[in-house]
Structure 1
Amino acid sequence: MLESTLSWAGRLSPWLIIGALSYAALFIKPTVNPPPLNQPLLETRDAFFDAEVYDQHVWAVGQNGALLESLDGGKSWSREEVPGRDNLQGIAVSPEGTVVVVGNQGRLWVKQADGSWKEQLTLGEDAVAKLLDVTFIDGHFWVVGEIGTLLRADALARQWQQLSIDEDITLNSIVPGANDDLWIAAEFGRLLHSVDHGQTWQEQELGSESLRAVHFNGPVGVAVGNRGGFYLSENAGANWREVPAFTEEHLYDVTFHQGRWIATGDRGALYQSRETVPARGWQRWNPEGLDKSYHSRLLNTDRGVLLVGKQVGLLSADELQLLIKENQ
C-alpha cells in the first residue's frame, strides 16, 4: 500500500509543480519598489550655450534639451529637460517674465503659466534650420539662425512673424545698437544693420571669418569672431576698422561691464580691457577655477558677468565664482 501511494505521488509531483507555477504566472503579480533615481545635476555630456537672468531667477540651456534653473540667484539648481532633447541654443525672458527657448531643427518653446513648455512651429514641421539666438529687444522677441532665419514676436511670444533674409547665410546673434537700431553678427565676416525694426537690412562685410557677436557701449561698438577676429567702431557702427588680433582662438562673445570690456571664446580664452575705446590694452584673464574649455556667452547682471559654456560662473572684480558644480 505504501509503495503504491509513493508511486502515485511520484507521478503527480511534476504536474503539481507545473500547476503551481502556472497559477503563479496567471494570478500573482509581482511588485517591485525600486529606490528613487537620484539624477545628477550635471551629466558628462552637458555643455551649455546660453543663459538668462530675471531677478533671482537664472536659467542655463544647452545640449540634449538640458535646462538648469535656479530660483535663488544661482545658489541652488534643479534640472529639467525640454521635450524633444534637441540641443537648446538660446534663451530669453521679457520684463513680464515670458520665457522663450530656441534650438536645433527650428524648434522653439514658450514657458506656460503651469510650468510646462509649449512648442511653437514657427518655421513649419519640416524645418531644418538651427535657431541660434533669441533676445528680447524693445518690446519684441527676436530669433536668428541658419539659412537667414529671422523671426519676431510680440512680448507674450504668441504671434510670430518671419522676416528672414533672402540669402543662405547663418545669423549668429542679434543685439540692440546705440540708436534704437538692430545689429546681427553673421558668417563670412558680415554685419547686418537695420534702422526700421527689422523690415530692411544693410550689410557690411568686415572680413572673411564668421562674426559671432557684437556689443555697443554708447557709440563704441565691438564685433568679434572666429580666429580672434576683432573689429571696432567709434561712431555707433557707421564705420568699422579691424584691430590686430590679440588671440588666435575663436571669440564667441563680448560685453562691456562696469568700466571694462570682456571677451571670451574657445579653449579657455578670456580677455579684458579697461580702455574706453578698446583698440589696445587687452590682457589675458585667468581667474582661479577657469578651465580650458569653450565659453560662448557673457551676460551682464547686477552682481557681475555670467560666463556660460562648459562651465557656468559669475565674473566679478578679478574672481570667478562657479555657480554649477558636479557635487551640488
Structure 2
Amino acid sequence: MILEKNTTAACQPAPVCCPSGHPLKVSRFLLASAFSGCLMLLTGCEAPLNLSDVEKERENPVRRTDQIQALTLNSSLQVAVGNDGLILTRQTSQSPWQRRILDGAPNLIDVDTCPDGSLIALSFEREIWHADAEAQQWTRHALPTPENMLAATCAPDGSFWAVGSFSTLMVSRDAGNSWSETSLNEDAMLSSIQFVDPQTALMTGEFGLVARTEDGGRNWQTLDYIPNDFYPLDAYFSSPGRGWVVGLDGMILHTSDGGASWQQEHTPVAAPLYGISHTGTGLFATGENGTLLTREDSVWRRLSVDTGPVWLRSLIELDDGELLVAGGNGTLTSVHTQ
C-alpha cells in the first residue's frame, strides 16, 4: 500500500512547535495551544490517501498479507493454505490461482492429501477441515481437546491424525466424525507425524522426542531422545530406519539406525529451518531469510530463491520438475533446481 503525502512551505511548524534548541519561556496553556494548532495545520495539509493500490491488491488471488503455511497436491490440483482461512488452488502451473476463504477465517497451519485424493487442513483453532478432491466443499470437524495441535497427516488407510502439545495424538477413522485422543504423557510439543508405510509412522517433538508405531498407530513406543534436547521443527523419514530432522541455527541431524544415533550434517546457513521435504528431485529444507537448501551426495547447498528475506516453510514438486515454494508475505514461487 502506498500512502501519498505532500507538504508545502505553509505547513512548516511555527518555532514553538519545533524549537531550534533555544529554551522558550511560555505557559503550558500557550504551549499546548501551539502544538494543537501545529497538528491541525499539518493535518490540513495532508493530501487525500491514494487507495488505488489497496484496491488492486484486493483483486489479486495471492496477496502480500497472506502467510502461506503449507502446500500439497493431488492428481488434479495444487493447494496452498494459510492465515485467515486462506485456501488457494490451481490445476497447473500455467493456471491462475483461485482464492477461497473458509467460514470463520480459521488460521490454517497444515494440509495433506488423502489416498482418495481428498484433502485435510489443520487450523490453529483445533479444527480439521475436510474437502473433496476438487477442494470445492469443505467440512469443519472440531477437535475435542484443550491441547494445541501443530501438525496433521492423512494415513495410508485414510484415517486423519493430528499431534500437538503435551505429546497428544488425535485420530479419526471415520473421516472426522469422531475422534480418539491419547498422549505419550510427556510435557512436550509434537511437531511432526509421518507414515512411512501403512503400519509404520514416526513422530518428533520438543526436547528431542521421537516415537514410533508399527501397528498403524494403535501403540506407540518412545525411542531414544535426539541429543542435546534438539527441538525438531520438522522431520522426514525415507524409511523406518533413515530420517532427518531440522531446527534452529540451520541445524540438520540424520539417523540411519532408526533413531539410535544422530549425526549433524553441515549446512551453509545459521537461519532457523522450518520444513524438510522429499520430492522426486531430492531432499530439500526451507527456513528463515528465504532459505532453501538441497542435499546432494550428503552435502547441503543453498539454492537461489527470488523471494527476499521472507520465511519459507513448505514446498512441492511440480509436473515440470520445478519446485513450488511457499512462505510469508504471499510467497508462492517456482524454483529451478538445476
So what's the TM-score if we normalise by structure 2?
A: 0.72
Cα offset for 1:81?
Answer: 0.9
SS of 2:193's equivalent in the other structure is strand
SS of 2:105's equivalent in the other structure is coil
Q: Does 1:308 align with 2:316?
A: no
Equivalent residue number for residue 240 of structure 1? 262
SS of 1:147's equivalent in the other structure is helix
Cα offset for 1:210?
Answer: 1.7
Residues 178 and 236 of structure 1 are in contact (CA less than 8 Å); yes or no, is this contact kept in structure 2? no
Q: 2:265 is matched by which residue type in structure 1? A: V
Query: Which consecutive residues of structure 1, in runs of 5 or more, have no partner in the other structure?
Result: 1-36, 319-328
Cα distance change, pair 95–63 in 1 and its aligned pair in 2 (3 A)? same
The range that moved more, 102-111 or 244-253, is 244-253
Equivalent residue number for residue 151 of structure 1? 170
Q: 1:294 is matched by which residue type in structure 2? A: W
Cα distance change, pair 123–157 in 1 and its aligned pair in 2 (3 A)? closer
Cα offset for 1:119?
Answer: 1.7
Equivalent residue number for residue 171 of structure 1? 190
The range that moved more, 152-161 or 87-96, is 152-161
SS of 1:242's equivalent in the other structure is strand
Cα offset for 1:90?
Answer: 0.9
* Alpha-carbon distance in structure 2 between the residues aligned to 1:165 and 1:62: 29
Task: Indicate which of 182, 185, 201 corresponds to 2:221.
Answer: 201
Equivalent residue number for residue 107 of structure 1? 127
* Alpha-carbon distance in structure 2 between the residues aligned to 1:86 and 1:57: 21
* Alpha-carbon distance in structure 1 between the residues aligned to 2:144 and 2:221: 21
Task: Indicate which of 264, 271, 275 corresponds to 2:286.
Answer: 264
* Alpha-carbon distance in structure 2 between the residues aligned to 1:283 and 1:39: 37
For residues 223-280 of structure 1, the C-alpha deviation after alignment (integer angstroms, 9 at most, x for no partner) is 11122222111234443223345421111122333463321111111112211xx2xx
Equivalent residue number for residue 142 of structure 2? 121
Query: Which consecutive residues of structure 2, in runs of 5 or more, have no partner in the other structure?
Result: 1-56
Cα offset for 1:211?
Answer: 0.4
* Alpha-carbon distance in structure 1 between the residues aligned to 2:337 and 2:119: 30
SS of 1:298's equivalent in the other structure is strand
Equivalent residue number for residue 231 of structure 1? 253
Residues 192 and 205 of structure 2 are in contact (CA less than 8 Å); yes or no, is this contact kept in structure 1? yes
Q: Does 1:299 align with 2:316?
A: yes
* Alpha-carbon distance in structure 2 between the residues aligned to 1:79 and 1:259: 28
For residues 151-196 of structure 1, the C-alpha deviation after alignment (integer angstroms, 9 at most, x for no partner) is 2223744443223332332111111347942111212232222223
* Alpha-carbon distance in structure 1 between the residues aligned to 2:118 and 2:76: 15
The range that moved more, 111-120 or 136-145, is 111-120
For residues 265-321 of structure 1, the C-alpha deviation after alignment (integer angstroms, 9 at most, x for no partner) is 11111112211xx2xx2222114x232211111334544433221222333433xxx
Task: Indicate which of 209, 216, 228 corresponds to 2:237.
Answer: 216
Residues 89 and 131 of structure 1 are in contact (CA less than 8 Å); yes or no, is this contact kept in structure 2? no
Q: 1:134 is matched by which residue type in structure 2? A: A
The Cα RMSD (Å) is 2.8
For residues 122-155 of structure 1, the C-alpha deviation after alignment (integer angstroms, 9 at most, x for no partner) is 225xx4x333222122212221223323122237
* Alpha-carbon distance in structure 2 between the residues aligned to 1:147 and 1:301: 36
Cα distance change, pair 257–68 in 1 and its aligned pair in 2 (3 A)? closer
* Alpha-carbon distance in structure 2 between the residues aligned to 1:300 and 1:146: 30
* Alpha-carbon distance in structure 1 between the residues aligned to 2:316 and 2:272: 18
Q: 1:183 is matched by which residue type in structure 2? A: L
For residues 66-122 of structure 1, the C-alpha deviation after alignment (integer angstroms, 9 at most, x for no partner) is 111113356211111112222100112212132211111212222269933322122
Residues 249 and 267 of structure 1 are in contact (CA less than 8 Å); yes or no, is this contact kept in structure 2? yes
* Alpha-carbon distance in structure 1 between the residues aligned to 2:260 and 2:126: 33
* Alpha-carbon distance in structure 1 between the residues aligned to 2:216 and 2:245: 21
Equivalent residue number for residue 142 of structure 1? 161
The range that moved more, 113-122 or 306-315, is 113-122
SS of 1:86's equivalent in the other structure is coil
Residues 156 and 197 of structure 2 are in contact (CA less than 8 Å); yes or no, is this contact kept in structure 1? no
Residues 146 and 169 of structure 1 are in contact (CA less than 8 Å); yes or no, is this contact kept in structure 2? yes
How many residue pairs get aligned? The number is 275
* Alpha-carbon distance in structure 2 between the residues aligned to 1:238 and 1:301: 35
Aligned pairs for 1:56-71 within 5 A: 56-71=76-91
SS of 1:133's equivalent in the other structure is strand
Moved over 6 A (4+): none
* Alpha-carbon distance in structure 2 between the residues aligned to 1:282 and 1:136: 29
